[in-house]
């Protein structure tokens, strides 16, 4: 589990086709290499991936993850190339502060940045959600976009808006985003379960 509070930035430094619909992706990061465990879960731009190798590239720690067919189909991982910047969050441990909201790292789909309005220090993003996911997004509710926990400000049909504060613009990939960017979207788990309960026939 994760909270959507980004604690590192990574960069894709290698992509290898291992088999049909299976890619090995190497990510450089600023973590202490000794603290990265093989088998650990890492949220990579919101996608929960398993560390399968670790190492060093110059003075930077690296870790490898495998992205299989479902991940490549449902997320932006299929678009990652050398140089792609990645938001990173390590899995929660007992005693960690819960600063955002509960995020599973199981991406539901891809949202597209439709418009960006920059103010003095903040930015407002308007995003187009997939039709099937828009029913789970509500004003004042939570979403995770590329792994970042955000509060929804407004919803109009399949379009929703979020306000991004200066700190988030500085420590995540959001500062460089432009309209047309594709972001991994995870809807709030409580909204998903509530909708499922309403769909289940009563006996």
Q: Which two tokens stand for residue 135?
A: 């029913």
Whether 48 is catalytic is yes
Q: Which fold has domain 8-90?
A: Elongation Factor Tu (Ef-tu); domain 3 (2.40.30)
Q: Tens of pLDDT along 48-98?
A: 999 999 999 989 999 999 999 999 999 999 999 999 999 999 997 766 666
Q: Tens of pLDDT along 161-181?
A: 999 999 999 999 999 999 999
Whether 63 is catalytic is no
Q: Which two tokens stand for residue 79?
A: 């678009």
Whether 101 is catalytic is no
Q: In the predicted model, what is the mean pLDDT of residues 124-149?
A: 96
Question: What confidence score (pLDDT) does residue 92 get?
Answer: 79
Question: What confidence score (pLDDT) does residue 20 get?
Answer: 85
Catalytic residue among 82, 106, 167, 194: 106
Q: Which CATH architecture has domain 109-199?
A: Beta Barrel (2.40)
Of 29, 104, 14, the C-alpha closest to 66 is: 14
Instruction: Please state, in angstroms and rounded to a whole number, the distance separating the CA atoms of residues 30 and 178.
Output: 25
Catalytic residue among 41, 62, 76, 172: 41
Instruction: Please state, in angstroms and rounded to a whole number, the distance separating the CA atoms of residues 73 and 20.
Output: 13
Of 122, 115, 104, 123, the C-alpha closest to 184 is: 104
Of 142, 139, 151, the C-alpha closest to 189 is: 142
Instruction: Please state, in angstroms and rounded to a whole number, the distance separating the CA atoms of residues 191 and 142.
Output: 9
Domains 8-90 and 109-199 share a fold: yes
**DSSP state for residue 121 in the 8-state scheme:** S
Q: How is the chain split into domains, by residue range?
A: 8-90, 109-199
């Amino acid at each position: 589990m994760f909270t959507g509070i980004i604690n590192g930035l990574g960069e894709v430094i290698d992509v290898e086709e291992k088999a049909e619909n299976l890619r090995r992706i190497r990510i450089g990061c600023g973590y202490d290499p000794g603290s990265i465990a093989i088998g650990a879960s890492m949220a990579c731009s919101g996608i929960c991936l398993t560390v399968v190798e670790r190492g060093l590239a110059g003075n930077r720690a690296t870790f490898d993850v495998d992205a299989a067919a479902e991940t490549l189909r449902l997320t932006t991982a299929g678009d990652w190339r050398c140089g792609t910047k990645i938001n990173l969050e390590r899995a929660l441990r007992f005693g960690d502060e819960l600063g955002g909201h509960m995020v599973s790292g199981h991406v539901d789909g891809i949202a597209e940045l439709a418009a960006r309005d920059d103010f003095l220090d903040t930015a407002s993003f308007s995003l187009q959600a997939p039709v099937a996911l828009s029913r789970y997004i509500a004003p004042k509710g939570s979403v995770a976009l590329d792994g970042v926990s955000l509060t929804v400000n407004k919803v109009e049909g399949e379009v929703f808006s979020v306000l991004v504060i200066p700190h988030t613009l500085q420590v995540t990939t959001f500062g460089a985003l432009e309209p047309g960017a594709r972001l991994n979207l995870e809807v709030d788990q409580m909204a998903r379960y509530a909708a499922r309960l309403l769909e289940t026939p009563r006996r």
